[in-house]
Amino acid sequence: MEETKSKNNGQAAASTAPAKKSGSGGGFLVGVAKFLLFWVVFCFLIEFGRAFLSEMSAHKDINLNPLFIASIAAFFIYNFVADLNDVYKTIQQFFSHSTMFGLLLPFLLLIIGVGYLIVPRLFNLAISTDIFLFVGGFIMTCHMMYIAKQSRGETFAAFAHYLLVMSVLVIINIIFFTLYLGIIYKMDTWKIIVAGSQNGYALLQNTFLQLIGQPKAGQPGIVPRPIATAHP
């Protein structure tokens, strides 16, 4: 009886081994597909970032020091002083129980932005631009770190998923942060979207052509052979 039971256990283990192997292989293929998608999105991320920095540099009245100080302070506090991830997660879940919307929308930044848009106009209050920039930079840095911690994984497929999700969400939050800055400064959000989309597509196309060995301008390409015709 015991020999039959051990034999059956051995057969069951042998039958499950190929399934486990094929499952890991399927996960690897999913990871490769997501990594290729990340490469596509990353081309757009580069150009969206360039368009955003170009728009920022065009506004000489924007003091970048509060943004840098806010980013450093948020990173330091988030990692070395207190675990703000649970606090920020609670804030996000208060406005939406959906994990996707919690990663997608920086609710706290949007609410503060609406407050900056309405309250000073109602009560005729002056806005401190340094505090405005510091608050926006601090919240946006916390939101990016929250996204990073919520999206991380251990396997290759999870890592590829993390890179893909982070790239998409960074692009979206660049747009949200531009809208936030547009409350005080005349930031052209539509210009950033158009430039990021067009230049991102061009960068993706150029990168793909370089990978397949397309000759650059001025270099000799492959001359196709003439098609031989049969003579009667």
What is the pLDDT averaged over residues 176-198? 92
Residue 228 has what DSSP assignment? Answer: P
**Between 214 and 183, whose confidence is greater?**
183
Where do we find the tokens 């490469």? Answer: 39
Question: What does the pLDDT read at residue 225?
Answer: 43
Closest residue by Cα to residue 172 from 75, 49, 60: 49
DSSP 43-84: HHHHHHHHHHHHHHHH-TT--SHHHHHHHHHHHHIIIII--H
Is it the case that residue 119 has pLDDT exceeding 80?
A: yes
Is it the case that residue 125 has pLDDT exceeding 70?
A: yes
**What are the pLDDT digits (tens) for 150-179?**
877 778 888 888 899 999 999 999 999 999
- Pull the structure tokens for residue 175: 């747009």
Question: What does the pLDDT read at residue 214?
Answer: 61
Distance in angstroms (rounded) separating the CA atoms of residues 93 and 187: 30
pLDDT class of 29 with cuts at 50, 70, 90:
confident
- In a domain, residue 209? The reply is no
**Number of independent structural domains in the chain:** 1
- Pull the structure tokens for residue 1: 């009886």
Question: What does the pLDDT read at residue 111?
Answer: 92
Distance in angstroms (rounded) separating the CA atoms of residues 193 and 42: 15
Question: What does the pLDDT read at residue 25?
Answer: 58
Question: What does the pLDDT read at residue 196?
Answer: 94
- The structure's pTM equals 0.75
- In a domain, residue 96? The reply is yes
Q: CA triplet 164, 21, 32: central angle to 5 degrees?
A: 20
Q: Are 152 and 162 in contact (CB under 8 A)?
A: yes
- In a domain, residue 126? The reply is yes
Q: What value does the mean pLDDT of the chain take?
A: 80
- In a domain, residue 28? The reply is no
- Pull the structure tokens for residue 144: 């990016």
What is the pLDDT averaged over residues 35-55? 93
**What are the pLDDT digits (tens) for 129-145?**
999 999 999 999 999 99
pLDDT class of 20 with cuts at 50, 70, 90:
very low
Residue 226 has what DSSP assignment? Answer: P
- In a domain, residue 36? The reply is no
Is it the case that residue 27 has pLDDT exceeding 80?
A: no
pLDDT class of 58 with cuts at 50, 70, 90:
confident
Question: What does the pLDDT read at residue 26?
Answer: 64
Domain that holds residue 81: 66-188
Is it the case that residue 223 has pLDDT exceeding 50?
A: no
- In a domain, residue 116? The reply is yes
- In a domain, residue 166? The reply is yes
- In a domain, residue 78? The reply is yes
